[in-house]
């Protein structure tokens, strides 16, 4: 609780306490250089300057955080606990300045000092504690929760190494360890005094307690501690600050005692190091489950620590645990934290004396589960032997939940054993596995998908039996993204243009963008919008020149596909289009517009096909460059190391946004939203949130192509033969011939053989089936782009109609339908 002496009577609670005028900021900054960094100006490094500035900003946001904590504590507010194995927060400095509203003052404070604010922002390294969409969504949701004044804590893991840094050498991806903590991460606060012991392994034994009740005692054979690091998350346009609490593994003292007793000092140190590896590294797979022991340990560490923390916070108020679900709405961001269901049951039954039925009621009322994928390889399952070895008590609990659940299901669906074995929490079709999506579903009162189509398919496929049993538990909440980071920070000129048209306030009420619609017909506005796009393309070109050594053609169409590399996302389809244009140019058939086709994205290190796609992008880029005529019309670029920081430079420069996944495969997508909000037109399939985006922006402003999700299924059921598509389409055949030729590989003819074979033999993602429709949609896009005024008119309409896709709207829906939480405006405590 903050001491009352810091109370400000000022109406502006947002900047209570510390002065934010340029002169005071400058003084504070120089003080930080001296007293925090221990440097005087002449010897301070850029990193010293960055850390000094971060220190000044952090001091100023702590007041908000403390007042928020105080308010929530006093009011015993209902709190959202957002459990996620990933938070892709992005750089912090710019966002914190935006929320504090002190950017201009800081710029003025730095005048005449060695580094500009822009340079210090560019210096910042981001915490890459996530793979892609799922992790970034968690960060957008924290931003909106804070902005909407909803008390919330993000719980996750503080990986010492986040997602690897991607370097390209000879057209190939190399992975470099992401040492994001090396120069210090100034935004977090360590809480070393909090140590939560977490057990693993060992055995269980049943006993009868003094009341004659059946009880179980779990004796783990080793323990590790979790210790939290808190990073504040500010709201925009409000005094509220929430935080993300990330757990790190630290060896428990038990290891020291072991060493003492056994005299095996080195052995004990080794065991200590091993236990600390639990939070060492983020698994770099997106949309694939690893099935590894260390991953299971990570997940258990995260949930055991987070639940213990919630219970500690709850019991501070002296309440009885039966009310836990009134205090916490716990959201499971996919199944990675779904062990929390089993752990809460264990805590309530084994450690807090609740009966099984009471415990189950509390548990189900606490949890809700968001599913982010239908891809079978991404649905988590844990082999029973591994699960039982590491978490013997949790295995008993999951089996008991399953026994009771199947009894209930049997009563509802008698004489349907096939259905029961489909629904079981344990897959017994071969080796036995725990099905985490089923655990999450059975243990939650609400289950949702992340876009309308996805939620619908979820209920018709992966969770069909459950949706039939409990239709009232299923929801859709279409994803959204934060306009603070993805418009105001990423595209300040566009934000200023919008403010000049709408006045302030739209960043928190994104539906107001609709007021821009009439301006699509206003020549002066169109011109300003165009000029901004061009300057953003210029900035992106400068970046390309810095990293790739060659600038971009600003008058060309920036045709952008930036996201993880995955076969279902079909970067290959995009490349087939480029090769089609190339072949046409060689035949003298020139395209309507020049294009710069920009790719970026990481491939999971073990995903051979995805890595081959990266090589193919480079192969195609070189092919185009070697041909004088092709080079005039086409440029293919791979921007290395796609992360939040780099993404913020790419989105504002895009003309065309490629959202071309096989229908039914992309749960939602969120780069589709970020690009459209920055004035790109979309070429896309009816997949994920594209469907709703198209409805919002208008079909006439969206380049649609391709099979619908049910057509994909029909095609496959009928025995899809990709070769037939090639045989019927000479242009496609020529492109595939080129793919298999040595022109693309400076001699190594077989390099792309696996890719070619997969397209021709199986083509799981229907690339060839969608090829012709895609080429035609690209031609339609080129025709419109050839008319800059018309293109810009459509781009403005797109921006104007994208307000729905703010994460504020998504979070408001979660609050209303799933969490039943309300805003708690932060108040300054009275003296």
Residues labelled as active-site residues: 372, 563-564, 569, 670, 674
According to the binding rule CB under 6 A, does residue 372 interact with ligand F58?
yes
According to the binding rule CB under 6 A, does residue 574 interact with ligand F58?
no
| Residue 215: how many other CB atoms lie within 10 Å | 14
Nearer to ligand F58, 378 or 812 (CB): 378
Q: CB of residue 285 vs ligand F58: minimum separation in angstroms? A: 5
* Strands (E) located in 334-372: 367-370
Q: In residues, how long is the chain?
A: 831
Contacts of ligand F58 in 520-549 (CB under 6 A): none
Q: For helices 608-626 and 571-586, give the axis angle rounded to 10 degrees.
A: 20
Cβ neighbours for 625, distance < 8 A, ≥ 6 positions apart: 631, 635
Q: Which of 20, 93, 110, 134 binds ligand F58 (CB under 6 A)?
A: 134
Nearer to ligand F58, 85 or 268 (CB): 85
Contacts of ligand F58 in 236-295 (CB under 6 A): 285-287
Nearer to ligand F58, 133 or 722 (CB): 133
Q: CB of residue 85 vs ligand F58: minimum separation in angstroms? A: 6
According to the binding rule CB under 6 A, does residue 133 interact with ligand F58?
yes
Q: CB of residue 637 vs ligand F58: minimum separation in angstroms? A: 24
Q: Which of 56, 61, 384, 667 binds ligand F58 (CB under 6 A)?
A: 667
According to the binding rule CB under 6 A, does residue 450 interact with ligand F58?
yes
Closest residue to ligand F58 using C-beta atoms:
133
Q: CB of residue 270 vs ligand F58: minimum separation in angstroms? A: 29
Q: For helices 46-75 and 22-35, give the axis angle rounded to 10 degrees.
A: 110
According to the binding rule CB under 6 A, does residue 644 interact with ligand F58?
no
Nearer to ligand F58, 85 or 401 (CB): 85
The separation between CA 667 and the C-alpha centre of its own chain, rounded to angstroms, equals: 13
Per CB under 6 A, the segment of 181-189, 605-613, 662-670, 746-754 that binds ligand F58 is: 662-670
According to the binding rule CB under 6 A, does residue 571 interact with ligand F58?
no
Nearer to ligand F58, 593 or 667 (CB): 667
Per CB under 6 A, the segment of 224-232, 432-440, 501-509, 663-671 that binds ligand F58 is: 663-671
Long-range (24+ apart) CB contacts under 8 A made by 29-33 are 29/53, 29/56, 29/109, 29/110, 29/113, 32/56
**Residue in 811, 791, 13, 231 with CA at minimum distance from that of residue 484:** 811
According to the binding rule CB under 6 A, does residue 482 interact with ligand F58?
no
Mapped to the 3 state alphabet, what secondary structure does 525-557 carry? HHHHHHHHHHHHHHHHHHHHHHHHCCCCCCCCE
According to the binding rule CB under 6 A, does residue 347 interact with ligand F58?
no
Q: Which of 15, 68, 298, 373 binds ligand F58 (CB under 6 A)?
A: 373
According to the binding rule CB under 6 A, does residue 69 interact with ligand F58?
no
* Distance in angstroms (rounded) separating the CA atoms of residues 484 and 488: 5
Q: CB of residue 594 vs ligand F58: minimum separation in angstroms? A: 31
Nearer to ligand F58, 132 or 443 (CB): 132
Cβ neighbours for 67, distance < 8 A, ≥ 6 positions apart: 2, 13, 16, 239, 241, 826, 827, 828, 829
| Residue 510: how many other CB atoms lie within 10 Å | 22
**In this structure, what DSSP letter does residue 164 have?**
P
Nearer to ligand F58, 55 or 669 (CB): 669
Q: Which of 14, 68, 131, 821 binds ligand F58 (CB under 6 A)?
A: 131
Cβ neighbours for 790, distance < 8 A, ≥ 6 positions apart: 784
* Distance in angstroms (rounded) separating the CA atoms of residues 81 and 424: 28
Contacts of ligand F58 in 310-339 (CB under 6 A): 336
* Distance in angstroms (rounded) separating the CA atoms of residues 390 and 21: 55
Cβ–Cβ under 8 Å, residues 105 and 98: no
Pattern 178-197, binding to ligand F58, x per CB under 6 A? --------------------
Binding-residue total with ligand F58 (CB under 6 A): 21
**Residue in 220, 447, 449, 433 with CA at minimum distance from that of residue 343:** 220
Report the Cα–Cα distance between both ends of the chain, in Å, rounded.
13
List interacting residues with ligand F58 (CB under 6 A).
86, 131-134, 137, 285-287, 336, 372-373, 378, 450, 479, 666-670, 688
């Amino acid at each position: 609780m903050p001491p009352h002496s810091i109370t400000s009577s000022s109406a502006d609670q947002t900047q209570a306490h510390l002065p934010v005028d340029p002169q005071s900021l400058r003084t504070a900054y120089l003080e930080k250089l001296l007293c925090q960094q221990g440097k005087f100006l002449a010897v301070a490094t850029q990193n010293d300057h960055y850390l000094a500035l971060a220190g000044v900003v952090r001091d100023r946001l702590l007041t908000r955080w403390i007042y928020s904590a105080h308010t929530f504590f006093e009011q015993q507010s209902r709190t959202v606990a957002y459990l996620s194995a990933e938070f892709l927060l992005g750089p912090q400095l710019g966002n914190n300045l935006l929320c504090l509203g002190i950017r201009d003052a800081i710029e003025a404070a730095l005048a005449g000092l060695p580094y500009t604010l822009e340079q210090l922002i560019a210096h910042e390294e981001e915490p890459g504690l996530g793979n892609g969409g799922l992790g970034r969504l968690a960060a957008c949701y924290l931003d909106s929760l804070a902005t909407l004044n909803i008390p919330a804590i993000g719980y996750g893991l503080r990986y010492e190494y986040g997602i690897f840094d991607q370097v390209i050498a000879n057209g190939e991806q190399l992975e470099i360890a992401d040492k994001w903590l090396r120069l210090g991460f100034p935004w977090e606060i360590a809480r070393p005094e909090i140590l939560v012991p977490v057990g693993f392994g060992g055995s269980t034994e049943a006993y009868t307690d003094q009341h004659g009740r059946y009880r179980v005692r779990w004796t783990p054979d080793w323990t590790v501690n979790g210790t939290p690091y808190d990073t504040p998350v500010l709201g925009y346009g409000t005094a509220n600050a929430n935080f993300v609490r990330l757990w790190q593994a630290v060896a428990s003292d038990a290891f020291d005692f072991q060493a003492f007793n056994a005299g095996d000092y080195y052995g004990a140190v080794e065991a200590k190091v091993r236990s600390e590896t639990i939070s060492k590294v983020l698994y770099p797979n997106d949309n694939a489950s690893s099935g590894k022991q260390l991953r299971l340990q990570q997940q258990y560490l995260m949930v055991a620590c987070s639940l213990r923390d919630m219970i500690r916070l709850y019991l501070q108020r002296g309440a009885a645990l039966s009310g836990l679900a009134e205090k916490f709405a716990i959201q499971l961001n996919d199944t990675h934290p779904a062990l929390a269901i089993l752990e809460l049951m264990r805590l309530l039954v084994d450690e807090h004396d609740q009966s099984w039925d009471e415990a189950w009621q509390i548990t189900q009322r606490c949890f809700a589960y968001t599913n982010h994928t239908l891809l079978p390889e991404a649905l988590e399952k844990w082999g029973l032997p591994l699960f039982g070895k590491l978490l013997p008590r949790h295995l008993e609990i999951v089996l008991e939940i399953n026994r009771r659940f199947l009894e209930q299901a049997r009563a509802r669906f008698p004489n349907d054993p096939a259905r029961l074995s489909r629904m079981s929490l344990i897959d017994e079709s071969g080796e036995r596995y725990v099905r985490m999506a089923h655990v999450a579903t059975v243990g939650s009162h609400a289950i949702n998908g992340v876009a309308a189509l996805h939620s619908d398919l979820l209920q018709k496929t992966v969770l069909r039996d459950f949706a039939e049993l409990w239709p009232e538990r299923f929801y859709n909440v279409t994803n959204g993204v934060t306009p603070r980071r993805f418009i105001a920070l990423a595209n300040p000129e566009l934000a200023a243009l919008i403010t000049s048209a709408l006045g302030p306030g739209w960043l928190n009420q994104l539906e107001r963008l609709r007021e821009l619609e009439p301006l699509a017909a206003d020549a002066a506005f169109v011109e300003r919008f165009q000029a901004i796009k061009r300057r953003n393309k210029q900035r992106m070109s400068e970046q390309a020149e810095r990293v790739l050594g060659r600038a971009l053609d600003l008058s060309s169409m920036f045709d952008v596909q930036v996201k993880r590399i995955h076969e279902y996302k079909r970067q290959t389809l995009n490349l087939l289009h480029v090769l089609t244009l190339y072949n046409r140019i060689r035949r003298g058939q020139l395209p309507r517009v020049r294009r710069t086709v920009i790719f970026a994205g990481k491939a999971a290190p073990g995903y051979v096909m995805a890595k081959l796609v990266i090589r193919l992008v480079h192969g195609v880029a070189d092919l185009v460059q070697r041909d004088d005529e092709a080079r005039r019309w086409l440029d293919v670029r791979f921007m290395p190391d796609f992360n939040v920081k780099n993404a913020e430079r790419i989105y504002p420069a895009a003309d065309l946004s490629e959202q071309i996944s096989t229908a039914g495969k992309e749960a939602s997508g969120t780069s589709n939203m970020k690009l459209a909000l920055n004035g790109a037109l979309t070429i896309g399939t009816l997949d994920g949130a594209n469907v709703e985006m198209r409805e919002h922006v208008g079909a006439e402003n969206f380049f649609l192509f391709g099979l619908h999700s049910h057509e994909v299924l029909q095609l496959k059921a009928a025995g899809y033969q990709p070769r037939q598509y090639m045989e019927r389409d000479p242009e496609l055949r020529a492109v595939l011939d080129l793919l298999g030729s040595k022109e693309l590989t400076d001699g190594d003819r077989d390099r792309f053989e696996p890719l070619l074979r997969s397209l021709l033999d199986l083509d799981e993602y229907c690339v060839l089936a969608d090829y012709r429709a895609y080429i035609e949609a690209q031609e339609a896009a080129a025709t419109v782009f050839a008319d800059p005024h018309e293109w810009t008119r459509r781009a403005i309409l797109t921006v104007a109609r994208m307000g729905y896709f703010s994460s504020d709207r998504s979070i408001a829906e979660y609050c209303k339908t799933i969490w039943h939480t309300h805003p708690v405006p932060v108040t300054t405590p009275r003296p």
